[in-house]
């Protein structure tokens, strides 16, 4: 799907309902990073943009053979609706198509719908509805790759004094004392936080504000130089320095219980301001 309205442009892949590109017309540089080595293959996730993680985040809790971060990002979705709004934005609504593999992996019935509103900001709304008679637990997230000038030029604010689980240090928990800067591999789940985060980029002279609703976790990730060599789809040697993942998530103890005939909406909105 290609959108080009008076406010912004965007590209969305129907496999995974994957937002690959969004850029307001008044912004100089791309907002989302997309690897030059991204693989556009059936059943494989795209490296970059906004992958959807659902119905688990990270490894499957009991079966390591299942796809990391769930199957929502690697199976087909259908278009439900594309409408132009009065303010010049465009709203795209997609629905996931259940497959035999999905039905094998889950013991419950559900509906999953994803709405993307494309304008001066981009608004993401992933709606999970429980069609079963029993509650079910989900992990979920937007694994968003933001384009940056250089990893050493940026800082992330909004997570000060928050507790995080640090994957690099064996999932031990620590408290974030200050704004976040980067000089090594970074893979943290910040827990019990609904706060807005901001990426401050001195190189691009801009900030990206990440607002969210119904999300209790935020993940920050950069692979750094050693780990990136093990990842065949991360692009050229130094391409990783041009991205940072700031992810709107419900993970670990912040996973969400969805009750019968109830819905849960994971919402994020991104706004770019140049200075």
Catalytic residues: 143, 247
* Integer angstrom CA distances of residue 86 from 57, 81, 117, 118: 36, 16, 12, 12
Beta bridge partners of 166: 172, 188
Q: Which two tokens stand for residue 105?
A: 């992996």
The DSSP code for 67 is P
Q: Contact at 8 Å (CB) between 230 and 218?
A: no
Q: Contact at 8 Å (CB) between 112 and 126?
A: yes
Q: Contact at 8 Å (CB) between 245 and 180?
A: no
Q: Contact at 8 Å (CB) between 5 and 85?
A: no
How far apart are the C-alpha atoms of 42 and 53, rounded to whole Å? 17
3-state secondary structure of 129: strand
End-to-end, the C-alpha distance of the chain in Å comes to 31
How far apart are the C-alpha atoms of 174 and 153, rounded to whole Å? 24
- What torsion do the CA atoms of 122, 10, 37, 79 make, to the nearest 10 degrees? 90
How far apart are the C-alpha atoms of 54 and 63, rounded to whole Å? 15
* Integer angstrom CA distances of residue 206 from 127, 233, 246: 31, 27, 16
How far apart are the C-alpha atoms of 62 and 119, rounded to whole Å? 40
Q: What is the CA radius of gyration of the chain?
A: 18
């Amino acid at each position: 799907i290609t959108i080009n309205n008076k406010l912004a442009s965007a590209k969305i892949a129907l496999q995974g309902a994957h937002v690959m590109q969004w850029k307001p017309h008044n912004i100089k540089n791309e907002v989302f990073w997309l690897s030059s080595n991204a693989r556009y293959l059936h059943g494989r996730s795209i490296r970059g943009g906004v992958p959807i993680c659902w119905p688990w985040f990270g490894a499957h809790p009991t079966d390591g053979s299942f796809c990391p971060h769930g199957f929502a990002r690697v199976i087909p979705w259908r278009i439900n609706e594309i409408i132009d709004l009065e303010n010049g934005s465009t709203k795209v609504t997609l629905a996931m198509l259940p497959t035999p593999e999905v039905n094998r992996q889950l013991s419950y019935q559900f509906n999953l719908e994803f709405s993307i509103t494309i304008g001066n900001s981009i608004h993401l709304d992933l709606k999970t509805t429980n069609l079963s008679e029993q509650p079910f637990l989900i992990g979920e997230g937007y694994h968003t790759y933001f384009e940056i000038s250089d990893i050493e030029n940026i800082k992330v604010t909004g997570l000060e004094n928050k507790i995080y689980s640090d994957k690099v240090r064996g999932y031990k928990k620590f408290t974030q004392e200050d704004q976040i800067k980067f000089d090594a591999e970074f893979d943290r789940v910040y827990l019990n936080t609904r706060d807005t985060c901001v990426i401050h980029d001195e190189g691009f002279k801009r900030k990206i504000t990440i607002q969210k609703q119904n999300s209790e976790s935020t993940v920050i990730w950069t692979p750094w130089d050693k780990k990136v060599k093990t990842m065949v789809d991360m692009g050229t040697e130094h391409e990783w320095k041009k991205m940072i993942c700031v992810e709107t998530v419900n993970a670990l103890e912040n996973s969400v219980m969805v009750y019968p005939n109830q819905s849960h909406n994971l919402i994020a909105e991104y706004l770019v301001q140049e200075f």
